Structure 1
Amino acid sequence: MKSKQSRTFVVKPLLAAMALSGSAYSLQAVAQEATVVDETMVVVASRAAKAISDIPGTVWYVDGQQIEQEYRGGKNLGEILAAAVPSLDVSSQGRTNYGQNLRGRAMLVMIDGVSLNSSRSISRQLDSIDPFNIARIEVLSGATSIYGAGATGGVINIVTKQADSGELQFESYISTTSGLNSSDDFDYKLAQSISGGDDRIKGRASVVYGETRGYYDADGDIVVPDITQGSLQYNEMVDVMGSLTITPSETKTINLLAQYYSSQQDSPYGIYFGEDLAGAPKNITGNDPDTSLIDVRKGFESDRQGGTERVMLNASYHDAEFLSHELIMQASYRSEELSFIPFIYGTYLAASEQTTDVLSFRAALLKSFGRLTLTYGLDSYIDKLESNQVIFDPQTSYASGGLVNRTMATIGRYPETEVSSVAGFVQAGFDITDDWTVEGGYRYQYMDNKVDDFVSAGIQQQIALGQGSSADAVPGGETDYNIGLFNLGTIYRFTPQSQVWANFSQGFDLSDPAKYYGTGTYGAADASGHYPLTASVNVNDSKMKGIKTNSYEIGYRMQDDALSLQAALYYSQSDKTVKFDKKTLNVNVLDDKKRIYGAEAMASYWLSDQLQAGVNGHIVKSEQQNSDGDWEKMSIRYASSSKAGAWLGWYENDYALKLQNQTLFDLTDDADGKIDGYSVFDLVGTVQLPIGSLGFGIQNLLDKDYSTVWGQRARGWYTYYAPAEVFDYKGRGRTYTLNYQVQF
């Protein structure tokens, strides 16, 4: 019997989900339950729960069973999402998700509606939560005006697990992963949760602890440490989460969430640059770099390594009958500290760190007037950034070839910034007929940037190295923005299981103010060692330009007894382009237009009662307009590659097995840049035991030797500082995962 789901698109049908979760249901019981599933509700496309079949846009719903299946097979959050969402780029397999775009553009990532994006755009939103604590993930592809700044590529909303009954429940999990290369090639994870309560109050508490060791490529060599954004080798992870659901009455609900997340690296491996860093460009020897000296070695020690530490608090309130409206309110606080591994700057090494504090409040009111539904409300937040950079003692670094790094001085890395925003919005939906709906809305957002006075980081570095004593500060200041965003869409339902839609929506991005301001041109130091400021980019005299994106799409989805299908064509164009200076790593906002267009699709089919096959894919083209008005390929440092995937799964009552593939296609640009594609196979499965279940997986089944997308991008970004081989972050070779889970 095949699973039946009406008026929805779910990534994995219920029959496979129940088999993989180790349920004791029979196939007949699963099919009977599936027939009563009518709607899958998500909040990612609006501020309230809404059926996917009523949304004029591309929505991907990754349910808890699919997350568990991939997680128990050895995948992390970025890899799970890349396999489930066609238009999301493949994972970096490291700490960063920079360049893991959604429809070729930056994405907004949320946990229970709390944004993980910040004004200083460090791409670690997916290094934020362990999948053990995730109930489901909702993804909206394409720019959206619903959430304002930062959502030009789409929105990912991670929904955490909550207590689902009043009975006391426990879940225990233990897992190991290894490539069997050495004693260092061994990862493990332990997790435990407890939940329960009564009709008025329910709660869940959990703790996850994991350690990863060395990553080895297909040749059995240790993977080059990522000195740019940081890898997850030799990493310790802790995810502690607690939640409460309070129901004061039948119409009112209060949800509280607290999370502490820590992911810290302590690696014994580093990159050896030769004595006196002679293998690096701009070394102190005055000779051409001898790149043959560069090697990956044990003996690495540093006062600062890469890490993520975050505290998040969230409180939401829902009242179904508030002055004849439905009221939704949310208040949250997020504080995070992000640190980096030592990076080589020619004659010395340094490592930066930033601290971000974000306080936000959101409120929405919903009202139905027959065929008309109205949603309106406001959003606001305050985002504060502080940052610093540790300069390591050069003599210690020289003597060890960069392997041993001890703090000599701490300087400022970027100016302190405060970005505040308040926005009002209104969305309306009207049912022209029972099958045809039109909806649209408008969002007005006011943003204010405050930037402190700041001595350029390069000058601070010279002073810390004894090449000066003081310097003029680049003046700070304040500037503001007024942004209006519009959306309009329509959806037509041929049947309850089949819909077609068209949609237009605007998005907005404000580039990293910390990387834009606080830089200046300085003259030579005078006799007292003071550097005079001769020119600067400051806030009041040079307002950073915002970037607006117009996004268009048409799409179709259907779900019947055996076949699931969703496909969309899209086109997006922005009026400006962001470029990074490879020497300073600061940003510039250019008036060059950028356009990205393509198609994404996924289809699955039940070949028999137990056998399911599926395919997905994303074709994407990224182009930029040059000074002559012609369109040319965007640099591989920014552009997304097309990709495809396929799977074949067998599901029985007591076991499940799934073979899957993900293929990345070659990408080139007009400057002879290239990203080499690759194809990787994985095998995952579960076996139900008398008590609990056994999960297993083989990642990179064919032991493919390849460089990750981030490793290939990093070669283009950072070769000013070191040879390309230093940044060649390779994919992990064949690895085996085995785990045990029990719920009681």
Structure 2
Amino acid sequence: MKQNKRLPSLLLVATITPLSVSAVAEEATLSQEMETVKITATRQGMEAKEIAHSVTVIDRQQIENQYQTTSNLGEVLAKTVPGMAPASKTLTNYNQSIRGRNLLVLIDGIPQNTNRNVSRDLMNIDVSNIEQIEVLRGGSAVYGSGAAGGVVNIVTRQNEHKATSKIGLKSALSELDSDGLGYRAEQYVGGGDSNFDYNLNLAWESTNSFFDADGDRIAPEPSQGDMSDTDSLSLAGKARWFTDKGTLSLSANHFDAEQDTNYASDPSVAALPAGSVKAQALPGLQLDKQNRTRNTLLNLAWDTDKTPLGSLDAQVYYRDYHARFTPFDGRAFGTWNSLAQSYLDSESIGSRLTFNTDLTKASRLRWGLDMNREKSEMPVTTFDGTAYDNSNGTIFADTGDEVFVPPITQDNIGGFAQLESNLTHDLRWETGARYEYVSASFNDFTTLGQGNQIQGGDISYDDFLFNTGLIYFVNDSTELYGSFSQGFELPDIGLRLRYATPGFNIAGSDLEPIKTDNYEIGLRNYWGDTQTSIAAFYSESDLGQTTIQNLSLALPRSEERIYGVELTVDHQLDDNWKLGGLLTWTEGERYDENDDRWKALNGYRIAPLQLHAYTEYSPNNQWFHRLQVNYSGARDDAFEDQIGFGSNEVDAYTTVDYSARYQVAAHTLSLGIENLFNEDYYTVYGQLLRNGNNQSHVTASGTTVKASYQYQW
């Protein structure tokens, strides 16, 4: 019989402790309360106080401050969002879950996830084109598929009547070398009048090599790819037409990041005991096409308050996406059986429709429809194994392309309705449902490794999702809430097809969707100069995610449960000083029927204890200083249970970041120092050894400095 030994103690804590979570505020004064912020990720703007679950909002100034001491968007979120796992410092967000489950990433409402999950959802936009990031934690029946852990909605740059130019320089300090220099330039232009406005935004960045605390060049990440020696280009624009009937907007965003490095990951370290030595950078790489991420979005939207059914938000969008990875030596594994480089091409078209219909003065119905069609394929480029071996893993001679995952067409249709009602002056209730229908089809293909002839087919799923929540306004500054919501996500169809065995039948292929039940209770407090919050959550699913063990598909998919606590606090000491931080503790387990007991989920799913604390000092309107401490704890649960992939012991580490800004008139100077004390460490991702050997034992960056100058015309 199953024994749940940890849950009762968690529920006891949840019963006796006031619980909640709020947005992490940085520079805005606490009088600008979080509850007045409009959250567009709710499908139409709602105030934070109207939402019966956890939400974090990061505004543009906060993003710019954090980016001074980080390398990408994933790191920004890891340091500001409770429940978010630590970043890998590479191209991937493979290990960056929310509350141990997958997240749905949206850019202006456009889904960035693909049916072949390649885990680069947070690498599809440049930070210069972000106005605000909204993170709703927990499953979402409003958005449906893919949002089991939460929703990250990225809102693109607003149209402003101004022009700004910005240049920046980045350098490693642990090894002063020209190879460690990086450069960045941005240009923003906006204008218009009461009838029409626009913006154009251009950003270019050249990132060179990274160096660790010992001054050694950090080896390329051989599994998911890294950002060293990468040039990126971002082109974005938005135009809006205003009429007495509503607003029409047309926006475009193109982001392209491509690596061109002379270094490979030395394969010789793979022969040594796993985790005993760090990955080594090896010069002489000859690879024609390297890691690349290219994302193009077109979005046409219309919003109006003048319909018989209430206010309306409608959009039609198009997305073209390409991701290319580092070559992988799979010759020793029958399911791969080649030296190959995979890449994904995906094309999507879709629409979203949302109405807000007022039923009474105290109640509103939020309802709508989503449709999306995605066509994707995942070929591989194969290489000459002899040339690779003779060059010690540096020469990749192209021998042609083969099918890895066949072309897949996937259609998603979802309809939802949510009733929101103020039952009394102090009590608000929301309840809703969503119907989700998903179909996928593919043609005949031959598997790459074993050459299995697989017959094409199609499969479909449908389900209803429900959510409900209550918010009790204790007083003007305190909100107590509790909620239940269901999440829905498909297992990775492409991953299942790539390991198809003879006689494979899509109808019985263990591709049943994951339906997650999420429970949360919390409390938000706005006490003058102090904001506090604490939340407890619990989620469970009868089926787990499709996973890989030793390059083989791990079946069956087991029952899972995940639970934890999140805490934030922000306090304005006086006009000059502010301090605060956040804490996240998460635990997750799956039920092993063979051993008849619960075992820990792996380290890619469940992060160690995360703690981020900061202090800010602004002596006047020109100067701003911020010191931030980042602590990631140890975790050995998966190691003790010997669950295989992702079960390495994880050691704790602490880093400190410092940033400053000086602004006078139209001029702004910014400085950021990441890893101020040159801590020698491995990220959680680097300790888990993604490819199973020391080539993935990648060190983290030593002390790194960023400086920038901005002029507003």
Question: TM-score surpassing 0.5?
Answer: yes
What is aligned with 1:40? Answer: 37
- Distance in 2, matches of 1:38 and 1:200, equals 31
What is aligned with 2:89? Answer: 93
1:510 aligns with 2:490: yes
What is aligned with 1:350? Answer: 340
What is aligned with 2:635? Answer: 667
What is aligned with 1:467? Answer: none
**Aligned pairs for 1:502-541 within 5 A:** 502-521=482-501, 535-541=502-508
- Aligned-partner SS, 1:414: strand
Match of 2:447 among 440, 446, 456: 456
Moved more, 542-551 or 147-156: 542-551
- Distance in 2, matches of 1:292 and 1:135, equals 42
1:204 aligns with 2:199: yes
Deviation digits for residues 165-219 of structure 1, max 9, x if unmatched? xx4x111111111113112011111000100011111100011000111101101
- Distance in 2, matches of 1:105 and 1:148, equals 14
What is aligned with 1:734? Answer: 703
- Aligned-partner SS, 2:494: helix
What is aligned with 2:25? Answer: 12
**Aligned pairs for 1:393-432 within 5 A:** 393-432=384-423
Deviation digits for residues 512-563 of structure 1, max 9, x if unmatched? 1111125444xxxxxxxxxxxxx23231453621111000000111223210
- Distance in 1, matches of 2:120 and 2:382, equals 23
Deviation digits for residues 76-121 of structure 1, max 9, x if unmatched? 2111111110211111111001110111111111111111011111
After superposition, the Cα gap between the structure-2 partners of 1:293 and 1:657, relative to the gap in structure 1 and judged at 3 Å, is closer
**Residue pair 1:163, 1:195 contacting (<8 A) in 2 also:** yes
Give the CA deviation at 1:375. 1.2
Give the CA deviation at 1:299. 1.1
Match of 1:712 among 687, 690, 693: 687
- Distance in 2, matches of 1:392 and 1:172, equals 44
1:473 aligns with 2:453: yes
What is aligned with 1:609? Answer: 575
**Residue pair 1:429, 1:440 contacting (<8 A) in 2 also:** yes
1:391 aligns with 2:382: yes
After superposition, the Cα gap between the structure-2 partners of 1:581 and 1:244, relative to the gap in structure 1 and judged at 3 Å, is same
- Distance in 1, matches of 2:536 and 2:35, equals 27
**Residue pair 1:337, 1:356 contacting (<8 A) in 2 also:** yes
1:639 aligns with 2:636: no
1:657 aligns with 2:625: yes
- Distance in 2, matches of 1:733 and 1:559, equals 38
**Aligned pairs for 1:566-645 within 5 A:** 566-584=533-551, 587-588=553-554, 590-627=556-593, 628-645=595-612
- Distance in 2, matches of 1:602 and 1:217, equals 31
After superposition, the Cα gap between the structure-2 partners of 1:637 and 1:78, relative to the gap in structure 1 and judged at 3 Å, is closer
| Structure 2 unaligned blocks of 5 or more | 1-20, 333-337
**Residue pair 1:39, 1:52 contacting (<8 A) in 2 also:** yes
Match of 2:250 among 237, 243, 256: 256
Give the CA deviation at 1:69. 1.3
- Distance in 2, matches of 1:391 and 1:75, equals 31
After superposition, the Cα gap between the structure-2 partners of 1:477 and 1:583, relative to the gap in structure 1 and judged at 3 Å, is same
**Residue pair 2:279, 2:694 contacting (<8 A) in 1 also:** no
1:498 aligns with 2:492: no
1:221 aligns with 2:216: yes
- Distance in 1, matches of 2:694 and 2:499, equals 30
Deviation digits for residues 489-521 of structure 1, max 9, x if unmatched? 000112233211000000011111111125444
- Aligned-partner SS, 1:694: strand
What is aligned with 1:114? Answer: 110
Give the CA deviation at 1:315. 1.3
Q: Which has the larger radius of gyration?
A: 1
Give the CA deviation at 1:324. 4.3
**Residue pair 1:304, 1:341 contacting (<8 A) in 2 also:** no
**Residue pair 1:711, 1:728 contacting (<8 A) in 2 also:** yes
What is aligned with 1:562? Answer: 529
After superposition, the Cα gap between the structure-2 partners of 1:450 and 1:589, relative to the gap in structure 1 and judged at 3 Å, is farther
Give the CA deviation at 1:566. 2.0
Give the CA deviation at 1:473. 2.3
- Distance in 1, matches of 2:119 and 2:365, equals 35
After superposition, the Cα gap between the structure-2 partners of 1:408 and 1:500, relative to the gap in structure 1 and judged at 3 Å, is same
**Residue pair 1:319, 1:326 contacting (<8 A) in 2 also:** yes
**Residue pair 2:279, 2:699 contacting (<8 A) in 1 also:** no
State the one-letter code of the partner of 1:357: E
What is aligned with 1:132? Answer: 128
What is aligned with 1:528? Answer: none
Match of 1:485 among 465, 469, 473: 465
What is aligned with 2:153? Answer: 157
State the one-letter code of the partner of 1:360: G
Match of 2:678 among 685, 703, 714: 703
**Residue pair 1:338, 1:355 contacting (<8 A) in 2 also:** yes
**Residue pair 1:143, 1:506 contacting (<8 A) in 2 also:** yes
1:553 aligns with 2:524: no
1:179 aligns with 2:172: yes
After superposition, the Cα gap between the structure-2 partners of 1:92 and 1:53, relative to the gap in structure 1 and judged at 3 Å, is same
After superposition, the Cα gap between the structure-2 partners of 1:593 and 1:37, relative to the gap in structure 1 and judged at 3 Å, is closer
- Aligned-partner SS, 2:115: coil
Give the CA deviation at 1:583. 3.6
- Distance in 2, matches of 1:373 and 1:293, equals 57
State the one-letter code of the partner of 1:171: T
Give the CA deviation at 1:294. 8.6
**Residue pair 1:511, 1:546 contacting (<8 A) in 2 also:** yes
State the one-letter code of the partner of 1:263: A
Give the CA deviation at 1:292. 10
State the one-letter code of the partner of 1:388: P
- Distance in 2, matches of 1:596 and 1:228, equals 27
**Residue pair 1:106, 1:151 contacting (<8 A) in 2 also:** yes
**Residue pair 1:9, 1:559 contacting (<8 A) in 2 also:** no
- Distance in 2, matches of 1:403 and 1:218, equals 26
After superposition, the Cα gap between the structure-2 partners of 1:507 and 1:159, relative to the gap in structure 1 and judged at 3 Å, is same
**Residue pair 2:648, 2:687 contacting (<8 A) in 1 also:** no
- Distance in 2, matches of 1:541 and 1:698, equals 53
**Residue pair 1:450, 1:476 contacting (<8 A) in 2 also:** yes
**Residue pair 1:455, 1:518 contacting (<8 A) in 2 also:** no
- Distance in 2, matches of 1:710 and 1:728, equals 9
State the one-letter code of the partner of 1:318: D
What is aligned with 1:270? Answer: 264
- Aligned-partner SS, 2:681: coil
- Distance in 2, matches of 1:326 and 1:743, equals 36
What is aligned with 2:511? Answer: 544
- Distance in 2, matches of 1:689 and 1:591, equals 58
- Distance in 2, matches of 1:240 and 1:267, equals 24
**Residue pair 1:304, 1:342 contacting (<8 A) in 2 also:** no
- Aligned-partner SS, 1:712: helix
After superposition, the Cα gap between the structure-2 partners of 1:35 and 1:382, relative to the gap in structure 1 and judged at 3 Å, is closer
After superposition, the Cα gap between the structure-2 partners of 1:692 and 1:542, relative to the gap in structure 1 and judged at 3 Å, is same
- Distance in 1, matches of 2:423 and 2:342, equals 56
- Distance in 2, matches of 1:541 and 1:435, equals 50
Give the CA deviation at 1:272. 3.5
Report % sequence identity: 29
Work out the number of aligned pairs and report it.
Answer: 675
Give the CA deviation at 1:690. 4.9
Match of 1:170 among 163, 170, 187: 163
- Distance in 2, matches of 1:410 and 1:262, equals 23
**Residue pair 1:675, 1:709 contacting (<8 A) in 2 also:** yes
Deviation digits for residues 132-157 of structure 1, max 9, x if unmatched? 11111111011111110110110111
After superposition, the Cα gap between the structure-2 partners of 1:584 and 1:10, relative to the gap in structure 1 and judged at 3 Å, is closer
**Aligned pairs for 1:288-327 within 5 A:** 295-327=280-312
